[in-house]
Chain A
Amino acid sequence: MNAGHLFYGSSVFLMVMGVFIALTGKHLIKILLGIDLFDVGLNLLIISFGYVNGGTAPIFSRYPHVFKNVVDPVPQALVLTAIVIGVAEIAMGLAIVMRIKEKFGTCNISKLKELKW
């Protein structure tokens, strides 16, 4: 079996699970975890897009035969940035959840009912 398919399948599974948790979760932290899972799944998916079966690290070397079969470095660079952004997003979310817990005394999203039209 191709290792690539396994990567695609599992990362899409993570993404779907993340969205599911974010949509159905009642606890604010759980929702954040769902968003985080979605991000992780997406990052894995991007990395596996750049994966070449049996490829090595994309490091330039003096030995050309090593350089023949390398994985695509661009998705890895993108994912590094995306990971940092994801951390910032979750950190901001956790800060907001902390304030919500202080003000509302609860982390249950169905009890946040200040804004209703």
Chain B
Amino acid sequence: MVSPILVIALSLFFAFVIPLLGMLSKKLPRWVPPISILVNLLILLSNMDKISGGAMLITTAGIKPPIAINLAIDRFGFLFALLIQTVGFLLSIYYLAQDTKDERFYMLFLLNILGASGIVMTGDLFNSFVFLEILEISSFGLVAVQKDKKSLEGAFKYMMIGAIGSSLYLLGIIVLYLSTGSLNMADIARLMPNIPDSIKLFAGLLFLIGIGVEVELFPLNAWAPDAYEGAQDSISTQLSSIISKAGIYLAARIFFTIFNGFYALEVVLYLGIITFIIAELAALMQKNVKRMLAYSSIGQMGLLLFVFALISKRADIFIFTTIILLALNHAFGKGLLFLSLGALTGGTREYYIDSLKGSGKSNVLAGLLFTMGAFTILGMPFFFGFWSKISALISIMKAGYVYLIGLVLLVSLFEIYYYGRVIVNIFSGEGKAQKTGFIYASIMVIFALFIIAFGVWPHPVFSFAHKAAVALFERTTYITSIMGGM
């Protein structure tokens, strides 16, 4: 029972302590992120039983909303905060074994986690913009941290699109502020019926562009393959498991809680399915395995957004549960794929399918883990992906798009082909002997354990996701728990 605002305050404190510690010793800074994130996790878990029906409200400066900035954590945000901190913790352990000379890397990493967890915890619209910018600026730096040609080019493209997108997001906030006179999410949601439709549409499209950059929505995702390919493997994991998940949270919070099922979500419906098809087709043509994974990641996000946009057709708790399951599966599955691909290459950054030949034979563990990651993304039984894919298909059916089920299954065949091609390749022929460090291997095994445990024993995840979905679904409870009985 410690105030969750410390998650933000302590992360900031630790992040700015890192350069000072770096002056004392080069070995010290890498220990800061694991400690900080572990503390964050403990703080969050100590609040677990306090978050029930509505949102848990944490005021700053003792002023009640709608005035002043406040944090509002409901079960939906709590689940995403836990996901972000867990993946962040695993990655920070991974970085302990990494030989980075520059301590500023750890600072950027911690700020990135801070931005993502700030987004999922805040109850203030402008505050979410600030955290979005912290998240974005630190991820430009993280993508560029490799300092080779590819990573720099990827980072610059990401920056160009991200900067314009987040500015438009700010404009959307201002439009809502002008029409409601408030920046508090719950307050704006309460006043939403008074806003004329044209302003709703304008603000909604501005938000869509801002968030669309983060969630890799077509046509705003031109940066994604380049940034994923240029970044080092763990940063690609972070892009797919943390940064895009914060974007999904924001999309759900804004388009459902604030806009109450924004009718222009139909645009997302089509854009999502287009993203899904184009990205999977692009993945099919890739010779570079990392770029293939990037396109597959975009495709999965497209499917997620498509399922998310179904709420404009039919607001159903099951659809919300599906979004959460898909997000969790993608976070752990794609994270495992990027990490194990890094292990297969042995840190050479040679991702071409020919150069990976036989690497699974010389490094059996990494090969098997890559296969597991591929299986969960494909939705094989006994893996978590099975349940999320089945739920996605049921959601699509419930919303009345039966013919699209065939399309999703057809595209899944492409997925099976291109993942199968890589798996066959890494297990055939003779490769060079490579070794994976103990820490690296155990991090990957933990990712895989999550996938298997959720897949074999899905009941706890389902009930947890269902509770979170209910919290998102009951927007009046969210509003009254923050604004009081109005």
> Of all chain B residues, which has the CB nearest A75?
B174
A68 beta carbon closer than 8 Å to chain B? no
Residues 86 to 111 of chain A near chain B (Cβ within 8 Å): 88-89, 92-93, 95-97, 99-100, 103-104
Contact A117 B225, CB 8 Å, known A35-B164, A74-B183, A112-B153: yes
Q: Which of B136, B156, B164, B285 contacts A96 (CB 8 A)?
A: B156
**In whole angstroms, what is the CA distance A3 to B290 when docked?**
54
From B130, B160, B286, residue with most partner A Cβ within 10 Å:
B160
Q: Which of A42, A74, A117 contacts B282 (CB 8 A)?
A: A117
B230 beta carbon closer than 8 Å to chain A? yes
- On whether the beta carbons of B159 and A93 are closer than 8 Å, the reply is yes
A22 beta carbon closer than 8 Å to chain B? yes
Q: Which of B137, B144, B156, B226 contacts A88 (CB 8 A)?
A: B137
Contact A42 B285, CB 8 Å, known A85-B130, A103-B148, A115-B154: no
Closest CB in chain A relative to B293 CB, distance in Å: 13
A17 beta carbon closer than 8 Å to chain B? no
Query: A68-83 toward B: CB 8 Å interface, digit per residue (1/0)?
Result: 0000001100100110
Q: Which residues of B contact A99 (CB under 8 A)?
A: 144, 147, 152
- On whether the beta carbons of B174 and A49 are closer than 8 Å, the reply is yes
- On whether the beta carbons of B156 and A112 are closer than 8 Å, the reply is yes
A interface residues, how many (CB within 8 angstroms): 32
> Of all chain A residues, which has the CB nearest B163?
A35
B373 beta carbon closer than 8 Å to chain A? no
Contact A92 B137, CB 8 Å, known A46-B174, A117-B282: yes
> Of all chain A residues, which has the CB nearest B136?
A89
- On whether the beta carbons of B144 and A96 are closer than 8 Å, the reply is yes
Judged by DSSP, the binding face of B is: helix
> Of all chain B residues, which has the CB nearest A41?
B167
Q: Which of A31, A74, A89, A103 contacts B137 (CB 8 A)?
A: A89
Q: Which of B155, B174, B225, B229 contacts A78 (CB 8 A)?
A: B174
Q: Which residues of B contact A96 (CB under 8 A)?
A: 140, 144, 152, 155-156, 159
Q: Which residues of A contact B160 (CB under 8 A)?
A: 22, 31, 35
> Of all chain A residues, which has the CB nearest B229?
A115
Contact A117 B167, CB 8 Å, known A49-B174, A100-B152, A104-B149: no
Closest CB in chain A relative to B221 CB, distance in Å: 13
- On whether the beta carbons of B170 and A117 are closer than 8 Å, the reply is no
Q: Which residues of A contact B280 (CB under 8 A)?
A: none
Contact A22 B149, CB 8 Å, known A117-B282, A117-B285, A117-B286: no
- On whether the beta carbons of A78 and B126 are closer than 8 Å, the reply is yes
Q: Which of B130, B163, B177, B178 contacts A89 (CB 8 A)?
A: B163
> Of all chain A residues, which has the CB nearest B174?
A46
Closest CB in chain A relative to B380 CB, distance in Å: 28
B39 beta carbon closer than 8 Å to chain A? no
A51 beta carbon closer than 8 Å to chain B? no
Closest CB in chain A relative to B418 CB, distance in Å: 14
**In whole angstroms, what is the CA distance A19 to B164 when docked?**
8
- On whether the beta carbons of A97 and B156 are closer than 8 Å, the reply is yes
Closest CB in chain A relative to B247 CB, distance in Å: 18
Q: Which residues of A contact B225 (CB under 8 A)?
A: 115, 117
**In whole angstroms, what is the CA distance A74 to B225 when docked?**
39
> Of all chain A residues, which has the CB nearest B173?
A78
Query: B132-173 toward A: CB 8 Å interface, digit per residue (1/0)?
Result: 010011001100100111101111100110011001001100
Query: A54-65 toward B: CB 8 Å interface, digit per residue (1/0)?
Result: 000000000000
Given known contacts A28-B156, A114-B149, what 15 new A-B pairs fall within 8 Å (CB)? A22-B160, A39-B167, A45-B171, A82-B170, A89-B159, A93-B140, A93-B156, A93-B159, A99-B144, A99-B147, A103-B147, A103-B152, A114-B153, A115-B150, A117-B282
**Chain A residues proximal to chain B, CB less than 8 Å:** 19, 22, 28, 31, 35, 38-39, 42, 45-46, 49, 74-75, 78, 81-82, 85, 88-89, 92-93, 95-97, 99-100, 103-104, 112, 114-115, 117
CB-defined A-B contacts under 8 Å, sample of 8? A22-B164, A38-B167, A46-B170, A75-B177, A85-B133, A88-B133, A96-B140, A100-B156
